[in-house]
Amino acid sequence: MGNIYLSRIGRLLVNVLTCPICNHSKHDSLHRLQQGDLMSCGKCQVVFFTPMPTAEELEFFYNNGYHDNFSKSTMVGCSFAENRYAALEALLKTHLPSLIDAPNKSLLDVGCGTGDFLKIAQQAGWRISGTELGRDAVEQATQKLGDCVLQGDIFTLDLPANAYSLITSYHVIEHLLDPVKMLKQCYQLLSPEGALFVETPNINSIGARIRGSKWSHIIPPEHIIYFSPHSLKYALHKAGFNRVLILTSVPQTIESIQDWPVFFKGIASSLYHLAPKLGMGAALQAIAFKD
């Protein structure tokens, strides 16, 4: 019992003192939670949960009903995937137009869930591949798409280097113990002049500022790292991407206000749509170019 207690204390001390992005040792407490604390790094400004779960704890969490619960979210289904792809295509037409009309363009979606987004991309002419950790999600994706979705992470799977025109990662990096390691691997997998698209909740968003510790995305151990525009750019630069475009946007659906009265929902919706003009949109997005 004593050894388990000492191990827990050791994990707490290590994670409080070491930023998972830049390894800096000075942090400020942002929020005190029932399960632990959110700390803000004094160097790269990323916010991270402590004590961090172990890899084994996360594997158990995601393979024991997680996707069953997520399937009830408004962030699933063909309609949501169609809107997500349309928004991505609009960004690519503006910032990387040559990719849209390229022959044999290939897309890898990291953390593809049950494959709805990949199905829309396939219909739009992409050669698709996906990775996903959850067994149940891979089984559902395989039923829709065939064997192009692999179970596992991009470090252990036999994925070809310099092969993908575009890699997408929607709401994945906030779940990871080492996001920079994942971003570095994406850099290796991209073809020359390829691009990585990342979307994650914005800790600098108007919702996060107003709601504080009650912000809907503060849900450890599901979300354990929280990015701002500055910290996401820092992480991408550290991963090897020299040219990075950072945007914020309105989420397709705002789950936290779905049950509000119509009047207050209208006010909140207006604020959410204004926020991206101030760099405070709920969704933080990055296009990182391999060039």
CA angle 122, 112, 166 (to 5 degrees): 60
**pLDDT at residue 64 in the model:** 78
Classify 116 as helix, strand or coil: helix
In the numeric block, which tokens belong to residue 242? 């020299």
**pLDDT at residue 60 in the model:** 85
**pLDDT at residue 192 in the model:** 94
Starting at the earlier edge strand, list the strands of the sheet with 225-226: 27-32, 37-41, 47-50, 225-226
Q: How far from the centroid of its chain's Cα atoms is residue 186's Cα?
A: 13
Half-sphere exposure of 228 (CA within 13 A, CB side): 17
pLDDT in tens, 12-62: 444 446 899 999 989 999 999 998 999 999 999 999 999 999 988 888 888
User: Which is it for strands 225-226 and 47-50: parallel, antiparallel or unpaired?
Assistant: antiparallel
User: Tell me, what amino acid is at 136?
Assistant: D
| Residue in the structure block whose two tokens are 């779905």 | 258
* pTM of the entire predicted model: 0.86
Integer-rounded Cα Rg, in Å, for the chain is: 19
Residue ranges for the chain with pLDDT beneath 70: 1-17, 67-76, 251-258, 263-265, 267-269, 271-275, 277-278
DSSP bridge partners of 246:
286
User: Which is it for strands 164-170 and 243-249: parallel, antiparallel or unpaired?
Assistant: unpaired
Going 5 to 34 to 72 to 186, the CA torsion angle's sign is negative
Q: Assess whether the previous peptide bond of 20 is cis (omega < 30° from 0).
A: no
Q: Assess whether the previous peptide bond of 221 is cis (omega < 30° from 0).
A: yes
| Cα–Cα distance, 94 to 261 (Å, whole number) | 37
